[in-house]
């Protein structure tokens, strides 16, 4: 390699490495949006009021096979950790049908709040969620510390809730 290429290439590599470090290591976790949501039972849920506790936001749809398959794991996580302050919030996307969301929540006896995002505003607040399932774990400090598109790994989420 010529000396000129090394002189030009070395700083470029350092700049790219620095940008990569900022993006993946040094960049702070984003803060969860400030939202007040209404559950399908009429309960008002302020996301900021849940600070101090870990919160799993699960965007889903009643027509999503993967979403339906992971309900058992979401219920288990909720039941195992709710006494310690953990909360699950299931948000059905706007293209779903409210009557189907309510029927599924009742049929599956979901123990956590189910929210219907009729106007798509909650999905938009989480950077335009459009795929289901999409999950976000919010730390007790209100930071989004984990995002998963697709089915969750219950053991991974359990470790994240525990702060491991």
Distance of CA 122 to the CA centre of its chain: 11
Give me the pLDDT at residue 112, please: 97
Question: Global pTM?
Answer: 0.82
Q: Do 9 and 24 fall within a single domain?
A: yes
Q: Do 18 and 94 fall within a single domain?
A: no
Q: Do 62 and 1 fall within a single domain?
A: no
Q: Do 50 and 123 fall within a single domain?
A: yes
Q: Do 91 and 15 fall within a single domain?
A: no
**Residue 15's domain spans which residues?**
1-30
Which CATH number is 66's domain given? 3.40.30.10
Q: Do 87 and 155 fall within a single domain?
A: yes
Per-residue pLDDT of the chain (164 residues; tens, 9 = 90+): 555 554 554 454 444 444 444 444 445 679 999 999 999 999 999 999 999 999 999 999 999 999 999 999 999 999 999 999 999 999 999 999 999 999 999 999 999 999 999 999 999 999 999 999 999 999 999 999 999 999 999 999 999 988 76
CA distance 122 to 113: 14
Q: Do 10 and 54 fall within a single domain?
A: no
Give me the pLDDT at residue 11, please: 54
Q: Do 22 and 103 fall within a single domain?
A: no
Number of domains in the chain: 2
- Which residue blocks in the chain are alpha helix, DSSP H? 3-21, 65-81, 98-107, 121-125, 154-161
Q: Do 80 and 153 fall within a single domain?
A: yes
Q: Do 13 and 51 fall within a single domain?
A: no
Q: Do 72 and 93 fall within a single domain?
A: yes
Q: Do 154 and 95 fall within a single domain?
A: yes
CA distance 23 to 25: 6
């Amino acid at each position: 390699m010529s000396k000129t290429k090394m002189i030009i290439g070395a700083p470029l590599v350092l700049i790219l490495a620095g940008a990569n470090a900022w993006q993946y290591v040094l960049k702070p976790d984003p803060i969860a949006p400030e939202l007040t949501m209404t559950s399908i039972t009429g309960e008002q849920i302020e996301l900021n009021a849940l600070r101090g506790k870990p919160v799993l936001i699960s965007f889903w749809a009643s027509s999503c096979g993967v979403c339906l398959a992971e309900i058992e794991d979401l219920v288990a996580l909720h039941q195992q950790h709710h006494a310690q302050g953990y909360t699950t919030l299931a948000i059905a996307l706007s293209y779903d049908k409210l009557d189907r969301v309510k029927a599924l929540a009742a049929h599956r006896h979901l123990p956590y709040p189910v929210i219907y995002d009729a106007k798509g505003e909650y999905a938009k607040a989480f950077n335009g969620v459009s795929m289901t399932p999409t999950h976000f774990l919010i730390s007790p400090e209100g930071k989004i510390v984990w995002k998963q598109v697709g089915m969750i790994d219950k053991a991974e989420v359990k470790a994240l809730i525990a702060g491991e």
